[in-house]
Structure 1
Amino acid sequence: MQQVGIGIIGCGNISGAYLKALQHFPILKVCGIADLNSDLAAARAAEYGVPARTIDELHADPDVQIIVNLTIPKAHVEVGLKALAAGKHVYSEKPLGVTFPEGKRLVEAARSLDLRVGSAPDTFLGGAHQTARGLIDQGVIGQPIGGTAYFMCPGHERWHPNPDFYYEAGGGPMLDMGPYYITDLVNLFGPVEKVAGFATKVRDTRKIGSEPRRGETIPVHVPTHVAGLMSFANGAVVQISMSFDVAAHWHKPLEVYGTEGTLIVPDPNHFGGDVFVLPLTGEAQGKPVTLPYSEGNWRSLGVADMAHAVLSERPHRANGDLALHVLEVMEAFQTASDRGEAVKITTSVERPAPLEQSLIDGLIGR
């Protein structure tokens, strides 16, 4: 198989998940991993048997076609623009940028250079979410009319070793967790047309509960509880709540309501999970998930799909236009809260093509 060389920039908490999953995609060749902290890069490189490089070396390496950007959110666009300037395609961790204008700048720069931008999340490509997509497309629940999307927890400072960035510009529950939920909803419904919402902050500081900084206090600069409504182009209206302030709740992550029934969609932060249909009459029916990528943590699935797309000159699914649309939607909740009125979304996007049943053994060929 022809391989596509990738260089990874950023060796934080999420890099381990990428490096584990990358081993299952033969099309991807890790040419090196880099970080401003060279000791951290060396440790990750030794752990996963890949070369430790500098960022400049990755940019200069002709074998590197895609830079996988795993830096903190406020560095996503700066790192991405430098990679584009070096002639590399870019795949970024979510969110695409910390503001819609800077995310747009990245997408437009790539377009002007005839290069590609990809972005997490790619969990919507997982078998469970593709199964849910298929059920909607088959009309199993009739015409979609609405839904709910809930992520609520007490805050990531309980477990993350360095949680500061969750409470800085580019953080907060909407920009951190919203990408999973809204991207999956765009996969299920199509683009969002209008947003209404409220954003609040109940504390100015947080206390870290994890090692090695247990007990340290960090400032909070962003809203930590966001609630609102999304009106989709297909006519559906979805209630959403993203929070770092809720101690506990019983809401399902995603529910989709149709004229003929309800679809229970599993956590969009994961690739698998149980899919249920609640018909108009009768008991809940579990739907078997037989599509690939429904077991395990397949982070980098979107990178592999992007690599195949580069070679075959087809669109990739976790693309920059999708991520930019989702970024605009997320930012609109704060705008709606500030203005006290609904906000019209200026971007639109095609639903990504579904994965196919024939995709097996970690190969994303179509």
Structure 2
Amino acid sequence: MGEPVSARTGVGIVGCGAISGQYLTTLAASQDLELVAVADLDPARAGAVADAHPGVRALTVPELVAHDDVDVVLNLTIPAAHAEVAHRAVAHGKDVYLEKPLTATTAEARDLLAAASARGVRVGCAPDTVLGTGIQTARRALDEGLVGRPLSATATMMVPGHEHWHPDPDFYYAPGGGPLLDMGPYYLTSLVTLLGPVTSVTGTSSRSRATRTIASGPRRGESVRVTTDTHVTGVLTHGSGALATVVLSFDAVATAASSIEIHGDTGSLIVPDPNRFAGDVRLFRLGGQAWETLEPSGGYRDAGRGCGLADMARTPRTEEHRASGSLAYHVLDVMESLLESARTGAAVTVTSTCARPVAVPLG
């Protein structure tokens, strides 16, 4: 999709936590992106990253967003800080790419996108796993009519909860966390990529217990209060007419259900885990005898976190990149609408929309 905007796009990372390692690997291998500077609330952590990458400077956040060599700010802070850091970048005329979700609320997201539009800069957002060969091969199968007219879908994520592996899981059990806002972006971004934007939702939710017990790390045995719902289920009505049933839960032990399934009038697709870039796509044709595995036919091969940022850098500014702010805003709006429906017991109209992202050719 288009030629590179420039030979190399200078990247400044704000937030050098655990997820930054995966982005650093992608940046090191990219022909489009060049890491210039890093910043973190913990200067020592930023310094360690800079020391490991010759030529990279450890700066404060104000220094980084104002740095002449930084073209795009990669915002890997916690969701509560997304909006503040992104606004700083936009005010200095920088593009910004954020980890999911776009911001903590749709109100914050609207303000951010409006500010970026007024300043003439771009906003991108994870997840970019949808640009890998897994989701994109499924996308091509749908576009080629291998299931006929898509009628319905299911998206399922059921796990025991992050306290079983995360040493500091408090965030996941507070407002702004929970299975929907934590993992929902992967599933809902995939559904929008496959089936198009959502027009209305109906949702319900619950929580199974008041506390969770940390199972690993220095806080092992400590209890964490649960102040948000830990099981969310809902039905999404897509503008295409397809209905998608979603179940995201921290209240299960395991599930045999496929991550995502798409069902049409002439076939059914099993779509791989949307938290990963690759995986087998399987098709069962009407009148067939068995599932068949499709060869990869779309998406970036061997992709890693940050490929959406590279895609943004390569996309001419006159075109919308795939992991766009408008797509991330729509997904955030769908998630907020699901929680509102669960709270009120009524269907909620999703007022935002977005373009179905352009498919990624195999490459």
TM-score bucket of the superposed structures, by smaller chain: over 0.9
Equivalent residue runs for 1:342-353 within 5 Å:
342-353=347-358
1:179-199 residue CA offsets vs partner (Å, 9 max, x unmatched): 001101111111001100112
In structure 2, the partner of 1:317 is 322
In structure 2, distance between residues paired with 1:241 and 1:222: 16
Question: Is contact 1:84–1:110 with CA below 8 Å preserved after alignment?
Answer: yes
Counterpart of 1:64 in 2: which secondary structure?
coil
The 3 A distance-change label for structure 1 pair 44 and 209 is farther
Counterpart of 2:85 in 1: which secondary structure?
helix
In structure 1, the partner of 2:147 is 141
In structure 2, distance between residues paired with 1:60 and 1:32: 11
Alignment pair present for 1:203 and 2:209: yes
TM-superposed deviation, 1:4:
0.6
Calculate percent identity across the aligned residue pairs: 46
Counterpart of 1:227 in 2: which secondary structure?
strand
In structure 1, the partner of 2:62 is 56
Counterpart of 2:102 in 1: which secondary structure?
coil
In structure 2, the partner of 1:338 is 343
Match of 1:189 among 182, 187, 195: 195
TM-superposed deviation, 1:46:
3.3
Question: Is contact 2:131–2:299 with CA below 8 Å preserved after alignment?
Answer: no
Question: Is contact 1:74–1:169 with CA below 8 Å preserved after alignment?
Answer: no
1:133-161 residue CA offsets vs partner (Å, 9 max, x unmatched): 01000000000000100011111122223
In structure 1, the partner of 2:74 is 68
In structure 2, the partner of 1:270 is 276
TM-superposed deviation, 1:342:
0.5
Match of 2:39 among 34, 37, 56: 34
Question: Is contact 2:297–2:361 with CA below 8 Å preserved after alignment?
Answer: no
In structure 2, the partner of 1:115 is 121
Aligned pair count reads: 356
In structure 2, distance between residues paired with 1:292 and 1:176: 24
The 3 A distance-change label for structure 1 pair 221 and 43 is farther
Question: Is contact 1:72–1:165 with CA below 8 Å preserved after alignment?
Answer: no
Counterpart of 1:356 in 2: which secondary structure?
coil
Alignment pair present for 1:284 and 2:291: yes
Counterpart of 1:105 in 2: which secondary structure?
helix
Match of 1:14 among 15, 19, 22: 19
Alignment pair present for 1:96 and 2:102: yes
Question: Is contact 1:199–1:333 with CA below 8 Å preserved after alignment?
Answer: no
In structure 1, the partner of 2:138 is 132
Instruction: Tell me which amino acid in the other structure corresponds to 1:355.
Output: V
Counterpart of 2:84 in 1: which secondary structure?
helix
In structure 1, distance between residues paired with 2:49 and 2:178: 27
Match of 1:215 among 213, 221, 224: 221
Could you say what the CA RMSD is over the residues aligned between the two structures, in angstroms? 1.5
Alignment pair present for 1:260 and 2:231: no
The worse-fitting range, judged by mean Cα deviation, of 224-233 and 55-64 is 55-64
Match of 1:23 among 24, 28, 31: 28
Equivalent residue runs for 1:240-255 within 5 Å:
240-255=246-261
Question: Is contact 2:155–2:187 with CA below 8 Å preserved after alignment?
Answer: yes
In structure 1, distance between residues paired with 2:231 and 2:70: 40
In structure 1, distance between residues paired with 2:202 and 2:299: 36
TM-superposed deviation, 1:32:
1.2
The 3 A distance-change label for structure 1 pair 139 and 290 is closer
In structure 1, distance between residues paired with 2:225 and 2:46: 28
Question: Is contact 1:123–1:271 with CA below 8 Å preserved after alignment?
Answer: yes
Structure 2 residues not aligned, in runs of 5+: 1-5
TM-superposed deviation, 1:313:
3.8
In structure 2, distance between residues paired with 1:83 and 1:217: 38
TM-superposed deviation, 1:102:
1.2
The worse-fitting range, judged by mean Cα deviation, of 12-21 and 229-238 is 12-21
In structure 2, distance between residues paired with 1:48 and 1:176: 30
Instruction: Tell me which amino acid in the other structure corresponds to 1:182.
Output: L
Question: Is contact 1:74–1:98 with CA below 8 Å preserved after alignment?
Answer: yes
Question: Is contact 2:12–2:74 with CA below 8 Å preserved after alignment?
Answer: yes
Counterpart of 1:240 in 2: which secondary structure?
strand
Instruction: Tell me which amino acid in the other structure corresponds to 2:237.
Output: S
1:298-347 residue CA offsets vs partner (Å, 9 max, x unmatched): 1000000111125x543211001000000000011110011111000001
TM-superposed deviation, 1:14:
0.8
In structure 2, the partner of 1:363 is none
Counterpart of 2:186 in 1: which secondary structure?
helix
Counterpart of 1:118 in 2: which secondary structure?
strand
Equivalent residue runs for 1:169-188 within 5 Å:
169-188=175-194
In structure 2, distance between residues paired with 1:247 and 1:320: 34
Counterpart of 2:36 in 1: which secondary structure?
strand
Question: Is contact 2:140–2:298 with CA below 8 Å preserved after alignment?
Answer: no
In structure 2, distance between residues paired with 1:137 and 1:84: 36
Counterpart of 2:74 in 1: which secondary structure?
strand
In structure 2, the partner of 1:155 is 161
